[in-house]
Amino acid sequence: MDQAQLKLRPATDQDRDRITRLISDALREYGLPLYLDTVDSDLNDISGSYFAAGGFFDVLEDADRAIVGCVGLRPADRSACELRRMYLQASWRGKGLDKSLLEHAVGRAKALGFSRIRLETASALKEAIGLYTRYGFRPEETAGLAECCDRSYILEL
């Protein structure tokens, strides 16, 4: 499918099951679980966890309205936000969409007035870590990482 047929739009709570499936499928490829009762519980209430909190959550749809990607930001404090849920369906990876989603998130973070973006991830997600570090994220020592994460990164805007 042509990338020109893709559409980025705000997620809704009605998208929850499709978003959860996308993320679960991506994590499963790396042998990682989804923890909907704990660290991933933000997916149970997208509008409350993201929009009401002062952040955003967007999905990328193909021409058939299938969700093939997603990305979200939510405030961590007054000056920093957390990059969360940046995933692409396997068939859409390696086509530059990952960088486009990251650039979209950085632009939104600046527009929302944040001066830093933080993220937590797992070492198994090597491609994502490569993208983040190429973009300028640097490792950050953080206490209390989520149970599924062993790395933390920060980008000064």
Spell out the per-residue pLDDT of the chain, length 157, in tens: 456 689 999 999 999 999 999 999 999 999 999 988 888 899 999 999 999 999 999 999 999 999 999 999 999 999 999 999 999 999 999 899 999 999 999 999 999 999 999 999 988 999 999 999 999 999 988 756 566 788 899 999 9
For residue 39, what pLDDT is reported?
84
Residue 18's Cβ-count burial label (10 Å; 0-12, 13-18, 19+) is middle
What residues contact residue 2 under an 8 Å CB cut-off, 6+ apart? none
For residue 147, what pLDDT is reported?
67
For residue 1, what pLDDT is reported?
45
Please give the backbone phi and psi of residue 119, each rounded to the nearest 5 degrees, phi first. -155, 150
Domain extents in the chain: 3-117
For the entire predicted model, the pTM comes to: 0.92
For residue 2, what pLDDT is reported?
57
For residue 146, what pLDDT is reported?
65
Q: Span 3-117: which CATH code?
A: 3.40.630.30
